[in-house]
Structure 1
Amino acid sequence: MEAVETDVLHIGYTVSGPKDGPPVLLLHGWPDSARAWVPVASRLNEAGFRTLIPWLRGFGPTRFLSAETVRDGSGVALAHDGLDLMQRLGIDGFDVVGHDWGGRTAYTMAVLFPEHVRRIVSLALAFQPRGTFALPAFSQARKHWYQWFMSLDGGPEAIRSDPKGFARIQWDTWAPPGWFDDAEFDRTAVDFDNPDWVAITLNAYRRRWRSDEPSDSRYEASRAKIAATDTVDVPTLMIQGREDTCDEPASSEGLDAHFTRGYRRLVIDGVGHFPPREAPDVVARAIIEHLSVK
């Protein structure tokens, strides 16, 4: 494991692949960790790409430098973390591939930093123009029970009492059975022992539906830019599992007009909410094809 320090974080990350290969930032989702990308990263490395996989704020070895910093779990905050990491490493232009929270971060980085982001791939989450979280229809709302639970006044204390149990429910229900075993969940859940995992988790979801969650003021200008933007101006590939029981595949349909430099959507049969883990071969091939277009 490697690490860098930004103005806000000590970020743990892994790096692999040829040193002169095109750099690809791989961002994991929730509730998951950097290890989710290992199978895909190895395939990208074989194809000549250099992969960098950080633990997001609140996960694994990544730590806040100050106890006073707002534990802001927004996509905008995560986008700045991603850019900060790459700039500390002296990497000016790169591709971004993200799953779940990482997918939202990929869209956000493309909107905020198009001069640095060449192409993006987002897995499992559809683009949200202007960063708006709209109340979903009933069929999707019932799948978002975990977000409503976190938004209740008593929700945070219940999650603090058993954070890994809360995460395990999502693994058990967001994809067809058989995609993981207990040992893999336990290895991943070690990264949920981060002292800020619960705080970042709660802020990320509660801020969508409540007005009393704190935000880090250093990102206000970027929030304003997101709120005023409904297009992505870098080439985009969106990958979704047809059996995703967290985010309905229909959510990513009909969005082509929001992508000024191309939008391709791949829906994988028999796969749920965790495509990088459930179908690494298919996912890696699609990513390599997308990132290799001249």
Structure 2
Amino acid sequence: MHTFTSDSLTLQVTEHGPEDGEPIVLLHGFPQDSTSWTAVAEILAEAGFRVLAPNLRGYSPGARPSGRAAYGSNQLVSDVVALFDAKGLDTAHVVGHDWGGALLWTLRKTHPHRIASATVISTPHPAALAWSFTHSTQALRSWYIAAIALPAVPELFLRHRLAQFIGSTGLPADRAQYYQNRMQEPGAATATLNWYRQMMIEQIRPPQRPVRVGKTAPPPTAYVWGSSDAFYTRAVAERTSHVVRDLTFSEEIEGGHWLPETHPAELAAAIRRQVESNASR
């Protein structure tokens, strides 16, 4: 495990593959960490790619600042940019799952010049998600977001009931228990929940974005989703293809929400397809 710094915080990153390989950055979701990508990263590294999988803000023990505002989208974006800079990457292919996917939708808007290609896993485009709340049953699947915004109670849930909940949505039991154990670390539960809590604030008061420089066209973007995702409806997944009209491809995998851990071979193949069609070398 290596480290890099961002905003005086120390974040962890795992590295796989040759240093001169085409770089791929893998962004994990909630309540996961970089280990969710291990199987995918090993497949990609075997194919000759350089793969970086960070433990994001809140998930790295040295990057759990206090206060909800420290987990704003601008701060999360700056952490990814700091990783690029620390590793000497002008550009990289970025893959994001779940919250990592939400972060990637933002990155492709704020820093398109740094992204060689984007592959979003599971998480629909924000405009598609907004549409789905009034045109499908998506609101029923997103009930937990409002519950997470409550004080104190969600922390207890993560420490004592998380494994049962995410295990019931298709994540293997050993992995579910691993993530619950991670929430026992000092500050971990509150830090990870602050992603949700700050998001609720930003829905009401959108943050100011830094002025973009250089390339402004969005990078080539692919969307991969599971046919039986417990958190997102088919309607919102399909809507993403209408909202993002220039998708490189939209691919449905016969699986659920936790594709990096349940379907690593299929997911690695989709990532490789996107990267190789947009390789810089």
* Alpha-carbon offset, residue 113 of structure 1: 0.8
Note the 1:53-132 alignment, pairs <5 A: 53-64=53-64, 71-129=69-127
Matched residues, number: 274
The 3-state SS of whatever aligns with 1:72 is helix
The 3-state SS of whatever aligns with 1:266 is strand
Note the 1:68-217 alignment, pairs <5 A: 71-129=69-127, 136-137=133-134, 139-151=137-149, 155-175=150-170, 179-181=171-173, 183-209=174-200
Matching residue within 235, 243, 246 for 1:250 = 235
Instruction: Name the CA shift for 1:206/1:71 in 2 (closer, same or farther; >3 Å).
Output: closer
* Alpha-carbon offset, residue 187 of structure 1: 2.8
Q: Is the 8 A contact 1:234 1:260 kept in 2?
A: no
Instruction: Name the CA shift for 1:100/1:272 in 2 (closer, same or farther; >3 Å).
Output: same
Identity %: 26
Distance 2:194 2:145 in 1: 11
Instruction: Name the CA shift for 1:241/1:286 in 2 (closer, same or farther; >3 Å).
Output: same
Instruction: Name the CA shift for 1:144/1:261 in 2 (closer, same or farther; >3 Å).
Output: closer
Per-residue CA deviation, residues 22-80 of structure 1 (Å, 9 max, x unaligned), is 1111010001111000000000001111111110111143424x65x755334443222
* Alpha-carbon offset, residue 180 of structure 1: 0.8
Distance 2:45 2:6 in 1: 26
> Alpha carbon RMSD of aligned pairs, Å?
2.9
The 10-residue stretch of structure 1 (72-81 or 234-243) with the greater mean CA deviation from structure 2: 72-81
- With the length of structure 1 as denominator, give the TM-score of the two structures: 0.82
The 10-residue stretch of structure 1 (20-29 or 260-269) with the greater mean CA deviation from structure 2: 260-269
- With the length of structure 2 as denominator, give the TM-score of the two structures: 0.85
Structure 2: runs of 5+ lacking an equivalent:
none
Instruction: Name the CA shift for 1:71/1:55 in 2 (closer, same or farther; >3 Å).
Output: farther
Q: Is the 8 A contact 2:26 2:37 kept in 1?
A: yes
* Alpha-carbon offset, residue 91 of structure 1: 1.2
Distance 2:203 2:124 in 1: 26
Q: Is the 8 A contact 2:169 2:230 kept in 1?
A: yes
Instruction: Name the CA shift for 1:78/1:196 in 2 (closer, same or farther; >3 Å).
Output: farther
Structure 1: runs of 5+ lacking an equivalent:
226-230
